Amino acid sequence: MAKAALVVGGSGYLGQHLTRALIGGGWRVSVTYRSNEDAARAARAAGAAAVRCDVATDEGASAAAAEAERVGAAVVINCAALSQPRKCQEDPQAARAANSPARLLRALAAVEGATPVFVHISTDQVYKGDRAVWAVGDATEPVNAYGETKLAAEDDVREAAPPGGAVVLRSSIIYGPEAPLASVGRPLFVQFVEGALRKGEPTSFFDDEWRCPVYVGDFARAIEAIAGARGVARGGFEVYNFGGPERLSRVDMARAVARACALSEAAIVEASAATVDRGVASPPDISMDSRPTEEALGFSMARFEDALRQHVFVGGGA
């Protein structure tokens, strides 16, 4: 029988890509979603089961755990989150509730005989960002409520890791093709860049904030490794940085998009992050060392421009 997975937050950008990739890899997939009925219908059409619930509530967490039990999930992937830093800053309590998997972990623990691996998607914003290239063992000092609530969520996973084990992936900015099932209702960075460059409108990009952008397709490869023969975190708890192999500024990323799409770089305007009031502090340099992750999972993360050419803007884009 095919392996089964439960994707919590399956209507979001990452959740949709995981759903499609895992189904394509022969998995039986169930997803939970809170409100995006278009994504749920598309997931069902693609072959997944879809359960409407809010895992930030006891009732919703119980419904998700029941679905994991029904399908015999080998892995539960928690993509559910409030991931907009400004919204988290405006309402830290709501952010804590949305970003904590504590209820879901308790509900899974109550399912007799269930031993799925729990994979929790965290963020690079748990790091302070006052220098380059952070390692998992470095001090975590978030500068905003988003990072604080995601770090607290990691503690929730550590304290209640299920018997099957738990893995936390500290993700950098995620890029890739458009959401495959339904709109996620927000602009995607590399697609925004392409659109701006095609219009030739001068657009500012930060030259003093650095990230390690990660290709969305690498998450499905990670799930295969975590739940598969490599046995990552069998019965234990592991934290991994999950970023691409390059330390890039937004200007670097914009120029890579221009090259991948054979567009002029003339519209790219270099600017400091200090010129924009985003209503929330942003860590300047949260580039990460993900080489231990690659070694543990058994594959190399995609390079930014290579993935743009091969998977996002195939043939030079639109």
Every domain of the chain and the residues it spans:
4-175+213-242, 189-212+246-316
Cα of first residue to Cα of last residue in the chain, in angstroms, is 41
**Interval 104-138: pLDDT, tens:** 999 999 988 778 999 999 999 999 999 999 999 99
**CATH topology assigned to domain 189-212+246-316:** UDP-galactose 4-epimerase; domain 1 (3.90.25)
| β-bridge mates for residue 174, sequence order | 214
State pTM to two decimals.
0.96
Given a contact cutoff of 8 angstroms between Cβ atoms, the answer to whether 2 and 11 are in contact is no
**pLDDT score of 315:** 77
Given a contact cutoff of 8 angstroms between Cβ atoms, the answer to whether 306 and 230 are in contact is no
**CATH topology assigned to domain 4-175+213-242:** Rossmann fold (3.40.50)
For residue 209, pLDDT over 60 is answered with yes
Name 232's Cβ contacts closer than 8 Å, sequence gap at least 6: 117, 165, 167, 225, 226, 238, 296, 297
**Interval 27-84: pLDDT, tens:** 999 999 999 999 999 999 999 999 999 999 999 999 999 999 999 999 999 999 999 9
> What does the alpha-carbon distance between residue 317 and residue 159 come to, in Å, rounded to a whole number?
45
